Amino acid sequence: MSDAIAANRKAIELQPQYAEAYSDIGNILHSQRKFADAEAATRKAIEQNPKLAMAYVRLGYILHDQNKFAEAEAATRKAIELQPDLAGAYVNLGITLRSRGELSASKQPSAKGSNSTPTIPWPTTPSAAR
């Protein structure tokens, strides 16, 4: 994994506004359970490109795994606002709502996600990389 982080850092060195590289670093750090660093990298991706829906999905995963459910929901809803066909966002929203104890509210987003375009990011659910 350190090679992947190094490659993304090199990409950032060459193109400092390359949001996807920050997002990828956040994803790798998340899989290593380095939540604070993962969150910081993912927020940097969003800072570089506020329209990068995948970064909001990933931020939702990271926040969920820190039990920051309200923030996870907000990030995930932002991803859906930016890219309504991003199925993984609906799945994550359902999981987050369920984690908050909002079972009835969680049924609709997951159901909608199952009918959306299958552009599910890795990992497909919070904590899948553990």
DSSP per position, 103-118? HHHHHHHHHHHHTS--
Judged by DSSP in three states, 119 sits in coil
pLDDT score, position 125: 44
pLDDT score, position 100: 87
CATH superfamily, domain 2-114, is Tetratricopeptide repeat domain (1.25.40.10)
Residues 120, 91 contacting (CB under 8 angstroms): yes
- Per-residue confidence of the chain (130 residues) as pLDDT tens digits? 689 999 999 999 999 999 999 999 999 999 999 999 999 999 999 999 999 999 999 999 999 999 999 999 999 999 999 999 999 999 999 999 999 887 665 555 554 554 444 444 444 445 543 3
Instruction: Spell out the domain ranges in the chain.
Output: 2-114
pLDDT score, position 101: 86
Question: How far apart (Å, rounded) are the C-alpha atoms in residues 114 and 30?
Answer: 25
99-108 per-position pLDDT tens digit: 988 766 555 5
pLDDT score, position 102: 79
